[in-house]
C-alpha cells in the first residue's frame, strides 16, 4: 500500500527526517510512536504533500507520489486527518463533510458517504446544521475523521486523533479505528498515547530524532523493555 | 433634493461595491490587500473603450473586455503572486508586489493609449423617469440593475456552488482545504478572475456614467473601493455592498453640502470614524485569525 524509502525532509535548516524507511501493507493498522519532535507529524505531512522532501521516495499503490501537490494525493486515495483536527469552524458540519467528498463527482457516491458517516457518527447527524466550531473537541475529532472518510480513501493517515480529549472519548476514538479498519481502510496512526495505539495496531515503528529506532509487531514493541520505560511509563 | 442625493450616491456606490468585492474576495483567501485592483479596473474600462474603437460592436467589445480583464487578474496572480506563495514569502512582499503591478499596468495603458481622458460612449439611452421629486436617468437605473444582479450572482457563486464552497474553505484554512483535495491555486485564480471581471464591469458602468475613461482612473476609485471594503468588513460580500453604498451616498452629500472638492476625502473621513468604533467594519468578523 505505502512504501517509504530513505526519506529526508528539512524545516529550513533543521534536518527533521533523516532517512526514514517504512512500509504499510494492505488492511493493516500501523502506528508510529515517538517523543515530541521525533518527526512523526513531519513524516505524515511529507507523505501527504504538505511539505516537500529533500530526497527519498514515497510510493503509494505502486505509484511514486513524492512531492506531488497535496490535492493530487487526496485524489489518489491517500488522506490525512491532521493534528489539531483543522475542521472549518465557520462552516456547518454538513459543509465540512461535503468538502471531505470534494474529489468525488458522483452524486450517489456522495449520498452514500454521508449515510456511512452518519451511521459511524450519529452525533454528527444530530449536529449537521451546526457550525463545526461549536462542536466539542471529541465531536470535532469525529468530524475530522468522518470528513477524511467521505472520499473513501484506501489509506488514512491519522495524526494524533486522541490529543486533548477526555479519556472516555479517547476510548471511543480507538474503537472507531478498529471499526474503520474492518471496513477495509488501511491506517497509519500517529499517537502520543503509545499504550492505546499499540493495542489497536498490527505493527509499529518507533521514531527517534528523525530516524526509525525500532520496528516490529505491535505486541512485540509493547513488550520491549525500553519502549515500556520510555513510551509506556512502565517499569 | 435629499432623496435625489441618496439616489445619485447609491448609483455610484453600487459600482464601488463591485470593485470592493475584488479586494474582499482576494483578501478573504490570501489575507492580502491587492493594490493592483484599481489598475485592473482601469484596464477594464480602457480596454473596452479600445475594443469599441475597433468597431466590433459595442456588446462584443464589452464582453471580450470583461473576459480579458478577468484573465489579467489571473495573470497577475500567476506571474507575480503565486511564485511568492511557493517561496512562503512574507505578506509585505506580496503587498509591495501588488503596488508594483499596479504601476506597471497603468503605465502600459498610458504607453499604449495615452494619458488623456477619452470619451466613453453612453451604454443606455438618454431619458429619465421622474418619481415624485426624484429623477432616475436610464443610465442610473441600468447601473443599479446590472450592479445588483452581478452582486447577487457573486453571492450565489460563493454560497451555493462547489467552487464557492472551496473558496470559503480556503478562506478559513488553506492547509485543510488542500487536504480536502482542493486545488487551492485554482481557487485563487478563480477568485482573481471573478474580481477582475467585476472590476471591468464597474469600470464600464462608471466610464459610461461620466462619459470618459483614462488610464489613471483606477487610482482614486481603487482607494475608495478599498475603503468601502474595509468599511463594510473586508472578506464579507454583503459588507462590500454596504460599504460601497455608504461611501457613495456620503460623497454625494459631501459634494452638495460641503462642495465638490470634499468629494474624494469623504470616504476616508467616514472610514476613520467608523473604524475607531468598529475596527472590523460594519459586517466584519470579530477577528480574522488563522488557526
- Angle at alpha carbon of residue A85, lines to A82 and A90, rounded to 5°: 130
Out of B172, B181, B183, closest to residue A88 by CB: B172
Using the beta-carbon criterion (under 8 Å), do A80 and B179 form an inter-chain contact? yes
The grid coordinates listed for A216 are: 516490529
- Characterize the bridge pairing of strands A155-159 and A186-191: parallel
Phi/psi of residue B196, nearest 5 degrees:
-65, -45
* Candidates A91, A99, A100, A150, partner chain B, best to mutate (most B CBs within 10 A): A99
Q: For chain A, give the percent of residues with pLDDT over 70.
A: 100
- pLDDT at residue A3, rounded to an integer: 97
- pLDDT at residue B237, rounded to an integer: 93
Give residue-wise pLDDT tens across range B49-87: 999 999 999 999 999 999 999 999 999 999 999 999 988
- pLDDT at residue A12, rounded to an integer: 82
Residue of A nearest to B167 (CA): A99
**Chain B residues lying within 8 Å of A143, measured CB to CB:** none
- pLDDT at residue A174, rounded to an integer: 94
Residues B218, B41 contacting (CB under 8 angstroms) = yes
Using the beta-carbon criterion (under 8 Å), do A70 and B166 form an inter-chain contact? no
* Candidates B28, B159, B169, B180, partner chain A, best to mutate (most A CBs within 10 A): B180
Nearest CA of chain B to the CA of A100: how many Å? 5
Residues A87, A36 contacting (CB under 8 angstroms) = no
Cα distances (angstroms) measured from residue A188 to each of A27, A79, A195, B173, B176: 10, 10, 16, 24, 19
- pLDDT at residue A229, rounded to an integer: 85
Work out the widest C-alpha separation in chain B, in whole angstroms.
Answer: 60
Q: Cα(A34)–Cα(A39) distance, rounded to whole angstroms?
A: 8
Closest by Cα among A195, A156, A194 to A177: A156
Using the beta-carbon criterion (under 8 Å), do B182 and A89 form an inter-chain contact? no
Q: Cα(A90)–Cα(A81) distance, rounded to whole angstroms?
A: 18
Q: Cα(B91)–Cα(B30) distance, rounded to whole angstroms?
A: 9
- pLDDT at residue B288, rounded to an integer: 47
DSSP helix/strand/coil, B274: helix
**Is the Cα dihedral A55, A60, A62, A67 positive or negative?**
negative
Using the beta-carbon criterion (under 8 Å), do A80 and B165 form an inter-chain contact? no
Closest by Cα among B5, B8, B283, B11 to B148: B11
Residue of A nearest to B184 (CA): A71
**Chain B residues lying within 8 Å of A71, measured CB to CB:** 178, 180-184
Residues B119, B212 contacting (CB under 8 angstroms) = yes
DSSP helix/strand/coil, B277: helix
Domains of chain B, residue spans: 2-277
Closest by Cα among B156, B131, B163 to B4: B131
**Chain B residues lying within 8 Å of A49, measured CB to CB:** 178
CATH top class, domain A2-86+153-230: alpha beta
**Chain A residues lying within 8 Å of B173, measured CB to CB:** 86, 88
Q: Cα(B241)–Cα(B222) distance, rounded to whole angstroms?
A: 15
Q: Cα(B226)–Cα(B20) distance, rounded to whole angstroms?
A: 6
Using the beta-carbon criterion (under 8 Å), do B173 and A50 form an inter-chain contact? no
- pLDDT at residue B88, rounded to an integer: 86
Could you tell me if A98 lies within 8 Å of chain B, comparing CB atoms? Answer: yes
Q: Cα(A207)–Cα(A218) distance, rounded to whole angstroms?
A: 14
Closest by Cα among A201, A231, A230 to A216: A201
Chain A segment 110-169 residues within 8 A of B by beta carbon are 147-148, 151
The grid coordinates listed for B95 are: 503587498
Give residue-wise pLDDT tens across range A65-117: 999 999 999 999 999 999 999 999 999 999 999 999 999 999 999 999 999 99
Q: Cα(A128)–Cα(A6) distance, rounded to whole angstroms?
A: 43
Chain B segment 126-185 residues within 8 A of A by beta carbon are 162, 165-166, 168-169, 172-173, 175-184
Give residue-wise pLDDT tens across range A109-157: 999 999 999 999 999 999 999 999 999 999 999 999 999 999 999 999 9
Give residue-wise pLDDT tens across range A25-40: 999 999 999 988 889 9
Domains of chain A, residue spans: 2-86+153-230
Task: Give the helix/strand (H/E) hosting A81.
Answer: strand A78-81
Could you tell me if A76 lies within 8 Å of chain B, comparing CB atoms? Answer: no
Nearest CA of chain B to the CA of A130: how many Å? 16
Q: Write down the mean pLDDT value for chain A.
A: 94
The grid coordinates listed for B288 are: 480574522
Residue ranges, chain B, pLDDT below 50: 288-291
- pLDDT at residue B290, rounded to an integer: 40
**Is the Cα dihedral B38, B39, B41, B45 positive or negative?**
positive
The CATH fold of domain B2-277:
ABC transporter involved in vitamin B12 uptake, BtuC (1.10.3470)
Using the beta-carbon criterion (under 8 Å), do B165 and A147 form an inter-chain contact? no
* Candidates A11, A71, A97, A146, partner chain B, best to mutate (most B CBs within 10 A): A71
Amino acid at each position: 500500500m505505502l512504501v517509504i524509502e530513505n526519506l529526508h525532509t528539512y524545516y529550513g535548516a533543521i534536518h527533521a527526517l533523516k532517512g526514514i524507511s517504512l512500509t504499510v501493507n494492505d488492511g493493516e493498522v500501523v502506528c508510529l510512536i515517538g517523543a515530541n519532535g521525533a518527526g512523526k507529524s513531519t513524516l505524515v505531512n511529507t507523505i501527504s504533500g504538505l511539505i516537500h522532501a529533500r530526497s527519498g521516495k514515497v510510493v503509494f499503490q505502486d505509484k511514486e507520489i513524492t512531492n506531488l501537490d497535496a490535492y493530487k494525493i487526496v485524489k489518489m486515495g491517500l488522506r490525512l486527518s491532521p493534528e489539531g483536527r483543522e475542521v472549518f469552524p465557520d462552516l456547518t458540519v454538513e459543509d465540512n463533510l461535503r468538502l471531505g467528498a470534494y474529489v468525488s463527482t458522483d452524486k450517489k457516491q456522495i449520498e452514500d458517504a454521508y449515510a456511512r458517516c452518519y451511521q459511524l457518527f450519529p452525533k454528527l447527524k444530530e449536529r449537521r446544521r451546526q457550525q463545526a466550531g461549536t462542536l466539542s473537541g471529541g465531536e470535532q475529532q469525529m468530524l475530522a475523521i468522518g470528513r477524511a472518510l467521505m472520499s473513501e480513501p484506501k489509506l488514512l493517515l491519522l495524526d494524533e486523533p486522541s490529543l486533548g480529549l477526555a479519556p472516555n472519548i479517547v476510548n471511543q476514538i480507538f474503537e472507531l479505528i478498529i471499526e474503520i479498519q474492518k471496513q477495509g481502510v488501511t491506517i497509519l496512526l500517529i499517537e502520543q498515547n503509545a499504550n492505546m495505539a499499540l493495542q489497536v495496531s498490527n505493527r509499529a515503528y518507533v521514531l527517534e530524532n528523525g530516524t526509525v529506532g525500532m520496528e516490529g509487531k505491535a505486541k512485540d514493541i509493547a513488550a520491549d523493555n525500553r519502549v515500556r520505560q520510555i513510551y509506556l511509563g512502565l517499569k | 433634493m435629499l432623496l435625489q442625493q441618496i439616489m445619485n450616491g447609491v448609483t455610484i456606490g453600487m459600482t464601488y461595491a463591485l470593485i470592493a468585492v475584488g479586494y474582499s474576495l482576494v483578501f478573504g483567501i490570501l489575507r492580502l490587500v491587492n493594490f493592483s485592483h484599481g489598475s485592473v479596473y482601469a484596464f477594464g474600462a480602457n480596454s473596452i473603450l479600445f475594443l469599441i474603437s475597433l468597431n466590433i460592436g459595442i456588446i462584443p467589445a464589452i464582453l471580450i473586455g470583461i473576459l480579458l480583464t478577468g484573465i489579467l487578474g489571473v495573470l497577475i496572480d500567476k506571474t507575480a503572486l503565486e511564485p511568492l506563495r511557493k517561496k512562503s514569502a512574507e505578506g509585505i512582499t506580496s503587498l509591495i508586489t501588488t503596488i508594483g503591478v499596479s504601476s506597471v499596468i497603468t503605465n502600459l495603458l498610458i504607453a499604449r493609449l495615452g494619458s488623456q481622458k477619452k470619451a466613453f460612449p453612453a451604454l443606455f439611452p438618454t431619458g429619465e423617469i421622474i418619481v415624485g421629486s426624484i429623477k432616475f436617468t436610464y443610465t442610473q437605473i441600468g447601473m443599479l440593475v446590472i450592479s445588483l444582479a452581478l452582486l447577487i450572482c457573486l453571492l450565489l457563486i460563493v454560497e451555493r456552488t462547489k467552487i464557492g464552497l472551496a473558496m470559503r474553505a480556503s478562506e478559513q484554512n488553506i492547509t485543510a482545504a488542500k487536504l480536502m483535495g482542493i486545488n487551492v491555486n485554482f481557487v485563487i485564480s478563480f477568485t482573481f478572475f471573478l474580481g477582475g471581471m467585476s472590476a471591468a464591469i464597474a469600470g464600464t458602468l462608471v466610464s459610461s456614467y461620466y462619459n470618459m475613461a483614462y488610464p489613471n482612473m483606477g487610482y482614486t476609485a481603487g482607494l475608495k473601493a478599498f475603503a468601502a471594503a474595509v468599511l463594510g468588513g473586508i472578506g464579507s460580500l454583503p459588507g462590500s455592498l454596504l460599504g460601497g453604498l455608504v461611501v457613495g451616498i456620503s460623497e454625494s452629500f459631501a459634494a452638495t453640502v460641503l462642495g465638490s472638492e470634499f468629494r474624494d476625502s469623504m470616504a476616508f473621513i467616514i472610514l476613520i470614524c467608523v473604524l475607531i468604533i468598529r475596527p472590523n467594519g460594519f459586517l466584519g468578523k470579530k477577528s480574522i485569525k488563522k488557526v
